[in-house]
């Protein structure tokens, strides 16, 4: 039996004042200035409640002579502070509604703005205000019980809580106010004393929405208009669905993530296709070169030869043989009388031939007795000799390097005539005119002049030719 009054009090603790029977308009506010309040409709007597943030609310009784208009003189709220105006008539508290937050403008210093009234006691709000969760009011031990807790929603409705007599703390069982709504709490006791007002506390989101319904208090105003209007249809039009709000938030987040992902994709793609030199590059594969390729199977390539040539000389490849057995008639007639002109090379001499590598190749023909050639051999000559060793053995080749200015052009047969190579060793004067095969495979003969070349050394079976 003793618990029944407590349960009844808890059930009736949260009373929502949502029936606005008249409209109210509030003018601009200035420090220590006048505040005009106008209304339309309602039944007197009227009450005007001014509730500043973190200060003491002021309740003003409107005289019966006031006809839809009243001026609050000497507003004792400092410049920059905020407050709300709540107007009631004979039908109940907050019947005219609560205004949005009003900011005090500049004025004069003719009043005390430290406190708007006398503070009879205090109270505390230790917890976070969350939707459909319990909320505690504690520390009002100095109040004369029973106390009344009022929650004003700027631009909307009001919540009135009636704690039971005895305890000095009270827990609001379910905060049936939607998340995002701001509430200003104030406490008064049985003697009319005030415990002051709180800041505008915003309701936080929670996972519980079971306490919300069409009768839940909401804020009806958007922004900070200086007027309030009452009517039975305002509360229903201002109700917002928490599910719709959550869906909108989730949709915005998903859209933002999609936009960011798309932007990153295009940035990465642009960097991947951009050349480091500022423009796109195109590459192509060049033809490969086979360094071991046999030059004899390739087509003619313009060659580079070290010495000038003469058109009356002839050359051929093959094993070294006697000049008299193979000398063409053109060689005898083309012999120059000029002692500085080189003699025509014999078939036994090394002949210059165009090769695929563009250099003059000198054939080192071995003697009939099978003597091996002497002298330096390049790596190209060794490779050519090895490549042809399977069938008919091809003579070794020598490469002579010279300056670019001394390059000669081949004739129509692809032959380049080289100047003689003078050495310090000369033939004896009694030479028959035909030299033996040299160690390098070069043979030369000049008809009618057995002493050519001059100052030749002793006749030997083998002679080392010196190349520049």
pLDDT digits (tens, 9 = 90+) for 246-286: 788 888 899 999 999 989 988 888 887 765 554 445 555 55
Residue 347 contacts residue 325 (beta carbons within 8 Å): no
Structural domain includes residue 268? no
**Same domain assignment for residues 35 and 162:** yes
Structural domain includes residue 245? no
Hey, which of 183-192, 319-328, 345-354 has the most confident mean pLDDT?
183-192
**pLDDT tens column, 384-421:** 555 555 444 556 766 666 666 666 677 777 777 766 66
In sequence order, what are the residues at sequence separation of 6 or more whose Cβ sits closer than 8 angstroms to the Cβ of residue 316? 347, 351
More confidently predicted of 434 and 45: 45
Share of the chain above pLDDT 90, in %: 35
Mean pLDDT, range 109-125, rounded to an integer:
88
b/e map of 2-33 (b: 16 or more CB within 10 Å)? eeeeeeeebeebbebbbebbbbbbbeebbbbb
**Same domain assignment for residues 83 and 177:** yes
Structural domain includes residue 57? yes
**Same domain assignment for residues 172 and 50:** yes
**Same domain assignment for residues 299 and 437:** yes
pLDDT-derived band at 288, boundaries 50, 70, 90:
low
Q: Average pLDDT over the chain, rounded to whole?
A: 70
CA distances, 83 to each of 271, 423, 433 (Å): 56, 122, 135
pLDDT-derived band at 449, boundaries 50, 70, 90:
very low
**Number of compact structural domains in the chain:** 2
In sequence order, what are the residues at sequence separation of 6 or more whose Cβ sits closer than 8 angstroms to the Cβ of residue 370? none
pLDDT-derived band at 7, boundaries 50, 70, 90:
very low
**Same domain assignment for residues 194 and 312:** no
* Reported pTM: 0.47
Question: How far is residue 406's CA from residue 400's CA, in Å, rounded to a whole number?
Answer: 12
**Same domain assignment for residues 354 and 454:** yes
**pLDDT tens column, 158-206:** 999 999 999 999 999 989 999 999 999 999 999 999 999 999 999 999 9
pLDDT-derived band at 313, boundaries 50, 70, 90:
very low
**pLDDT tens column, 223-253:** 333 433 333 333 333 344 566 787 888 888 9
Structural domain includes residue 187? yes
pLDDT at 104: 95
Q: What is the CATH number of the domain that holds 111?
A: 2.60.40.10
**Same domain assignment for residues 66 and 204:** yes
pLDDT at 160: 93
Residue 399 contacts residue 352 (beta carbons within 8 Å): no
**Same domain assignment for residues 218 and 304:** no
Structural domain includes residue 119? yes
Let me know if 270 is exposed, middle or buried by CB neighbors in 10 A (0-12, 13-18, 19+). exposed
pLDDT at 44: 87
What phi and psi values does residue 159 have, to the nearest 5 degrees? -115, 130
**Same domain assignment for residues 366 and 459:** yes
Side-chain-side CA neighbours of residue 461 (13 Å): 7
**Same domain assignment for residues 31 and 170:** yes
Q: Using the 3D structure, point to which of 209, 237, 265 is the last residue of a domain.
A: 237
Asked if residue 101 has pLDDT above 50, the reply is: yes
Residue 189 sits in which domain range?
1-237
**Same domain assignment for residues 86 and 156:** yes
């Amino acid at each position: 039996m003793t618990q029944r009054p407590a349960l009844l009090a808890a059930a009736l603790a949260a009373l929502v004042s949502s029936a606005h029977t008249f409209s109210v308009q509030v003018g601009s506010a200035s420090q220590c200035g006048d505040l005009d309040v106008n209304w339309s409709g309602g039944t007197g007597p009227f009450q005007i409640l001014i509730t500043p943030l973190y200060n003491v609310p002021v309740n003003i009784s409107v005289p019966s002579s006031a006809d839809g208009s009243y001026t609050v003189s000497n507003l004792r709220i400092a410049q920059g502070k905020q407050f709300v105006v709540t107007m009631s008539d004979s039908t109940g508290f907050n019947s005219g509604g609560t205004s949005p937050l009003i900011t005090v403008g500049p004025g004069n210093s003719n009043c005390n703005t430290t406190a708007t009234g006398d503070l009879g006691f205090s109270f505390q709000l230790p917890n976070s205000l969350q939707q459909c969760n319990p909320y505690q009011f504690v520390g009002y031990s100095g109040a004369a019980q029973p106390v009344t807790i009022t929650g004003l929603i700027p631009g909307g409705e009001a919540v009135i809580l009636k704690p039971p007599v005895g305890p000095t703390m009270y827990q609001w069982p379910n905060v049936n106010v939607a998340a995002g709504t701001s509430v200003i709490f104030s406490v008064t006791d049985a003697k009319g004393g005030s415990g002051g007002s709180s800041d505008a506390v915003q309701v936080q989101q929670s996972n519980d929405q079971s306490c919300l319904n069409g009768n839940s208090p909401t804020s009806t105003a958007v922004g900070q208009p200086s007027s309030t209007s009452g009517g039975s249809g305002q509360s229903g039009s201002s109700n917002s669905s928490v599910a719709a709000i959550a869906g909108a938030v989730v949709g915005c987040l998903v859209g933002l993530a999609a936009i960011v992902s798309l932007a990153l994709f295009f940035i990465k793609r642009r960097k991947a296709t951009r050349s480091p030199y500022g423009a796109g590059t195109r590459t192509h594969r060049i033809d490969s070169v086979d360094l071991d390729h046999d030059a004899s199977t390739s087509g003619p390539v313009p060659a580079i030869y070290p010495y000038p040539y003469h058109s009356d000389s002839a050359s051929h490849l093959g094993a070294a043989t006697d000049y008299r057995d193979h000398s063409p008639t053109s060689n005898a007639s083309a012999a120059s009388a000029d002692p500085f002109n080189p003699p025509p090379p014999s078939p036994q001499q090394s002949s210059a031939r165009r090769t695929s590598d563009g250099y003059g190749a000198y054939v080192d023909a071995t003697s009939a007795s099978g003597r091996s050639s002497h002298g330096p051999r390049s790596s190209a000559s060794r490779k050519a000799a090895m490549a042809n060793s399977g069938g008919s053995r091809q003579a070794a080749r020598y490469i002579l390097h010279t300056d670019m200015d001394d390059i000669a052009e081949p004739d129509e047969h692809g032959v380049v005539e080289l100047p003689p190579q003078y050495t310090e060793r000369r033939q004896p004067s009694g030479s028959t005119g035909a030299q033996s095969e040299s160690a390098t495979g070069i043979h030369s003969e000049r008809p009618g002049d057995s002493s050519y070349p001059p100052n030749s050394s002793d006749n030997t079976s083998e002679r080392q030719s010196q190349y520049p």
